[in-house]
Structure 1
């Protein structure tokens, strides 16, 4: 699943973004990376540039990121695809290399033994990197960069902190996929950004499979994958005794699933223009989805998942979602949880950074080409090193129906009518 366009601006944010700076402008005032002369120096903090004067340069409308609207996605023709890449068994080496580069440009010399460092050093490093992210963000704000570009940088910064935690908290090969899963996914079609596809890593797909096998591995259980670009149905099929369904509009994926896992029930459905087939209403014990990472996109698919979820007490929705897109918009996260409760749903568990998504050019060439539009060039080795981040992440939200919830009859009728086919 790929990150959707950054959140829309509020009126207050639009006022703050009237002055904009060209994304290719090098900012001489951003001198943030003075490196101490000695490796014995303590953790180094960047100079606070929050008082920097705003830029007078303007950005043209053509410099805004072009993101295809939902309706355009539904009608877009398939672009040219590329041969699949040889996915490594573990994302760990790329994470380690990226972090070592960040430590070097940030002059964090106390971390030479990373990840085998003390808890105190980890906390100091996290605080130092957070200060750097906040400093660049505030600099962009005062320079007049629009909300879209500031939000994009914030997402990259928060992803850095998640990768830091992953690598320090479990430095062993936690994220190594099995040969079976690597073989299953080795021939999958290239991701298509027009469909908002950004494949999770094989180890992430394996962890999703293990969730099902831990909680739902009975012959009478039924599992649904809403938008199965990560091919969770294929990974699950050899091990699950119950019934597996997948919904997608990408005919390449439907054909791939038919060839690799013929026992999976396939449904060609465009959920943007249509709903869940009526026979699948309240049919599934587990529903997996990895929707657009912004408010309206998430609900477009989450509503369908609720429609398809069984009323059995053990039925669960497994939502993969990056919270950064909501956390930095005032009131959006509160609004999200209130709406969930109004539909009779609650969050049972949050598993941080459960999923990783490769941003390697070999896996998704178009995405790297968009980074120049997402993130401006700055005269900061830290900010530019951050552009090379190898993975995106999302949390796993485990949702269930609220026990004893009684929905409003009229509201429930229209909800079911709207989200069925």
Structure 2
């Protein structure tokens, strides 16, 4: 390994240790003998375990157990440590039970968003909903993209997460239940993936599909001007560039007009907005001027897009999902979560007495265009009465 790589590793470790120290100090100061000490302890333990995923241990069980000594200092003297080191258990058992506790004891089911791609796992026998704590989370995403508005929860403190959870779900949440290697949740299906588009395969998308995506991103823009606005503007510019690079006879005048109007809305300089007298083949260069403005060349956005796929559901929802998403996968919003997930239905034995409507593998989290505007319709108490019980395997 190069000296640069080693120096980068050392720098990352120092940064993580400093972050952990400040978080531990905050928990020590806030927790004391408080009734919610356990939740704060799990939040801090989760932060510590996640931060050290890129570290190497001789025994992979120490990705969990190795953190417990440091964590014992934030507990009151008469409070038993919630996770007991047990080297008689297999790595898969320890990772599964730990992930279950993090999901049950901390807000917004964030641990489901920390599951790496299946191809990156070392322990393939782990349930789909359990992170492999022995491997780093996607480094391109984790280092830069937590600053994106669509990922804002990943960097929030405990009090802020509690507020977000109350605002979204109220005070009564039917949380997850761990049963062996299964995670039982309640949720509502938002749709099926109809078109899945991998950024690395841009050239394969049909021109009509491009037009549909541009229409969905740019339509009703005013109602979507929320926290995800800049992100989806960037996406629109990328797709407009692709669309207008096609031969002129393939381009719809209606979509072309839509593209022009959208670019005018991005607060660009007048010279950057193509005029009707500008030949269509000259549009691409003008669009790239817009793309290269600081707001739209955010490396975090580029990293996020590079590691994920764009999808359209049969219900015409536009979203960004995991790279491993496939046509026919389902989008679900589960009770207590910060965002929807892409799930893949699997064959599994379902007992009628359990009331479970289906078994799924977790593919990854999803960001839907305008999700914040739609949330009240999906999380209202009367809607949650209709949620189904499902299990992740």
- What range describes the TM-score normalised by the shorter chain of this pair? under 0.3
Which has the bigger relative contact order, CA under 8 A and spacing at least 6? 1
TM-score of the superposed pair, with normalisation by structure 1: 0.25
More helix by share: 2
